[in-house]
Every structure is written in C-alpha cells, then in structure tokens.
Amino acid sequence: MLNHIINNPVYRGTYIAGKESMCLYRHEKRRTVPKEEWIVIENNHEALVTEEEYKEILKIKPKHRKTKRREENYLGGIIRCGKCGSAMNDWTDHGTKRYYVCGRKARYGVGVCDCRNYPKEKAYQTVLQVIKEEMQELLDLDIVLEKLNHSKEADRHIKMLSGKIQASKLEITKTASLKSGLYVDLRDGLINEEKYRVLTTEYSERLETLNGALKEYERVLEDTKQSPLDRTEVKVLIDKYKRKRNLSREMVDALVKEVFVNDGELEVVLKFNDKLLKLSELIDERRAWKDEN
C-alpha cells in the first residue's frame, strides 16, 4: 500500500485520465491507450506527497529487492479472451495452480466480462495436442496427395495439361503477331484508325485471357511435381517439433498464431492452417480428375 502511494503520481497532485478508450455507438471494445496519449495535468490538486518528499523517499527506499522467480508464460501476448478480446493474464490463486484470467474481468469484475478462468497447465497441454494433431493431419494429407499425383488419372491429366500449355503458347504467339502487325496495316491504309483501336483492344483482351489460362495450366502442372510441404519451412518445423513431449516458448513462437478462451474452451489458430487448406483443395482437385475421366 505504501509503495502504491509513493509511486502513484495522483498523490503528488497530478491528474491522469484517458488511459482507456472505447466507442459505444460503434460497438468498439475497450482498448488501452498508449502512455504518451494520456491526459496528464500536473499540480491539479493538493498533493499528499510533495515532490521534495518523494525525492527524499527515493533516497532512503531500498534499491534492491529480492524478487520471486518469474513464472514462464509461453502463451503471453497471443492468448486472448474470446468474449471481449482482452489479453488473458497469467494469474495464481496463491496456491500451486495457475490460471489464464481475462484482463478486463480481473480489473472490472464479472459484470464486464464473465469469461471463465482457464488452467494454465491445461492450456499448455491443449495447445501441444492441437499442434501434434494438425501436424499429423498435414503429413497424412501430404501422403494422400502424393499418391493422387502419381495415379493413372493424374498421368492422363498431366498429358492433357501439357497439350493445353503448348496450344496456349502457340495461340499467344499468333495473337501477339497479329496485334503487332496492326500498325503496319494502319500505316499502309489497309485499316482506318477506328478499326485499329477496336482490333488493338480485342487482341489485348485476348492475350490477357490466354496468358491467364496459361499461368493456371502451368500452376496445376507444377503442383503435380511436388507437394506443398516439400522442401518448405513448414516441413522443417514439423520434423523439428513432431516428437516433442512438452510445449516450449520456441515452439509457440514458430507454430502458434493466436489462442482464444471462450466458455471454458480453447481455440488454437496455427500459423500453418493455410497449408492444411491448400492440401485439402489440391486433394479435392485431384479427385475431381478421376470423375472427369
């Protein structure tokens, strides 16, 4: 309590406001305002502790305090309340158990946010489980895609794509040649300026369409040569962490994007979720080839 009075500028006559901000009509959530944007008015009221007294106290105040070992918080900065969006704080009940508690709830009470506390150790176990399950799902999907890429249906589709790529390149060359010859036709009086503008626009649009189709054919063909995981950073991370038995800050930083707590449930968003989606899309695409054939 004494430290609170000594270190609180309000007791030295300073008025401070604007530490938090929210807009009700826009339904914006309460947010913390940067310190440099606070409203600070010095000598606003009578001070209980003068500046001279404060400086004297600092002189006699012990400079070194024995501090407890800080508990490691692997999810700090990425775990948030799923109800109000506030950061979840690492909190202890002064016993052996630690919890993640909604910051707004801890500060203003359950009337502001009633998000339930989540056991810290359980959060670690859940995040580790999700990481392992989704890494295994990635590997399983990768194997499925690899088999589909080497199926008879894929071979036939690859031949068809190769033919379309060759035909597209020939058509692009032909259209580009026709477009470049328009100026000569205009100069020689074979076409007028209006016809020149119309044909130029027509050939330009045709080239844009042909080039777009060519890029798509080449993309699909390239996808059949290697999986999205082959020689990627994600594959390296999976190989590095798939056998780990305990969560670490290094693992969280490498693999976890966000964690949300909502009604006693934990939602874990991983950084490689886009790879899962990509693999699923490619597998659906390959299976559609079989239906086409």
pLDDT over threshold 90, residue 282: no
93 pLDDT tier (thresholds 50, 70, 90): confident
Residue 35 and residue 101: Cα distance in Å, rounded? 24
* pLDDT tens digits along 94-150: 767 899 999 999 888 888 899 999 999 999 999 999 999 988 988 888 888 888 877
Token digits of residue 219: 């993309």
User: pTM for the full model?
Assistant: 0.58
Terminal C-alpha separation, the chain: 78
**Contact of 131 with 256, CB cutoff 8 Å:** yes
**Contact of 267 with 115, CB cutoff 8 Å:** no
Residue 180 and residue 160: Cα distance in Å, rounded? 30
**Contact of 89 with 107, CB cutoff 8 Å:** no
**Contact of 80 with 87, CB cutoff 8 Å:** yes
Residue 120 and residue 98: Cα distance in Å, rounded? 6
pLDDT over threshold 80, residue 252: yes
**Contact of 175 with 203, CB cutoff 8 Å:** yes
The DSSP 8-state label assigned to residue 87 in this structure reads: B
